[in-house]
Amino acid sequence: MSKYYYDLHIHSCLSPCADDDMTPNNICGMAMLQGLNIVALTDHNTCGNCETFIKVAKKHGLIGVAGMELTTAEDIHIICLFEHFEKAKAFSDEVQKYRLSFPNNVKLYGQQMYMDEEDNVVAVEENFLPLATSLGLDEAVALARSFDAVVYPAHIDRMANGIVSILGTIPESPDFSCIEFNSSEDIEKYKNDYPKICDKASVINSDAHNLWSINEAENYIELDDEPYSSDLVRHRLFEYLKGGTK
C-alpha cells in the first residue's frame, strides 16, 4: 500500500469562473510542487480539456483523471470521474444535449478556453458552460453511471450548489458511494447529522479555480499499487471511490 496525495476537483480555464492561467501545464506544475500524485480535471458540464490534461499530467509524473462537475436541474453540483478518457468524452458529448444554449458573457466571466499540450488556446467555447442542465439529480447520476462514472456530490459542506444546502438533506436516492468535502473542518458534524455517510468513502478536494487553491499534500488515499503502473493506481482509485468503506 502506498499513500497517494490527491485533488480530484480542479477547474481549468475552460471554466469561465477559473483564472485564465489555469492551463493544463500550470495546474500540473503547481500540483507537482504541492506534492500531489493524483489530480482530476472537473470543468463545468464538459470534459473538453481532459484529454490534454491527462497527457500533460503524465509528463509531470502525475496521474491525471478525466472528470466533469455537472450542474443538475436542481442546481446541485455533482462530480463525475472516469477511469477511461474515452468514456468521459462520450459522456461529455451526451451532456451537450442537456445544456442550455446561452452565450458566455466574456466581460463578466472571462473566456472559456480549450487548450493544447503546450498551453496554446485551440478554441473558445461560446456557450456559457456552468448553467444548470436539464438533467434532474437521479437522471444525471444514472446517465453518468451508464458511462461507468463514479459520481459523488460536490462540496456538500458549502452553501452554493451543495446537495445539503439545496435539498436540506442527503437523499436516500441516488445512493452515493463517496462524498466530497471542501474542508476537513466539519466532516464529523456532517457524519453526526447524516449517519448514512459514515460508511462511505470521502474525499477532500479544493474545487480550485486558481493555482494557489490547489490542495497541498495533506489528504491521501492508500492504494495497493503492486506491481506498479499508473493504470493500476487509477483503477485502484476508482475501486476506492466506488467501493465504500473508509
In the chain, the amino acid numbered 20 is: D
Residue 78 engages Zn ion in binding (rule: CB under 5 A) = no
Residue 151 engages Zn ion in binding (rule: CB under 5 A) = no
Q: Which is nearer to Zn ion, 158 or 191 (CB)?
A: 158
CB 113 within 8 A of CB 129: no
Q: Which is nearer to Zn ion, 120 or 183 (CB)?
A: 183
Residue nearest to Zn ion (CB): 77
First-last CA distance in the chain: 15
Among 141, 154, 163, 223, binds Zn ion (CB under 5 A): 154
Please report how close the Cβ of residue 159 comes to Zn ion at its closest, in angstroms: 11
CB 41 within 8 A of CB 52: no
Q: Which is nearer to Zn ion, 75 or 139 (CB)?
A: 75
Among 25, 207, 233, 237, binds Zn ion (CB under 5 A): 207
CB 149 within 8 A of CB 241: no
**Antiparallel, parallel or unpaired: β 121-124 and 220-223:** unpaired
CB 190 within 8 A of CB 214: no
**Contact stretch for Zn ion (CB under 5 A) within 22-30, 109-117, 160-168, 237-245:** 160-168
Site string for Zn ion, 121-150 (x = CB under 5 A): ------------------------------
Q: Which is nearer to Zn ion, 165 or 177 (CB)?
A: 165
The whole-angstrom separation of Cα 194 and Cα 175 is 13
Please report how close the Cβ of residue 49 comes to Zn ion at its closest, in angstroms: 14
**Contact stretch for Zn ion (CB under 5 A) within 28-36, 102-110, 159-167, 229-237:** 159-167
Q: Strand order in 150-153's β-sheet?
A: 150-153, 77-82, 63-71, 38-44, 2-10, 220-223
H-type helices in the chain, by residue range? 24-34, 50-59, 85-96, 106-109, 137-146, 163-167, 187-193, 230-243
**Contact stretch for Zn ion (CB under 5 A) within 27-35, 70-78, 91-99, 196-204:** 70-78
3-state secondary structure of 51: helix
The whole-angstrom separation of Cα 217 and Cα 227 is 24
Count of chain residues binding Zn ion (CB under 5 A): 5
Residue 77 engages Zn ion in binding (rule: CB under 5 A) = yes
Among 43, 69, 83, 180, binds Zn ion (CB under 5 A): 69
Binding site for Zn ion (CB under 5 A): 69, 77, 154, 161, 207
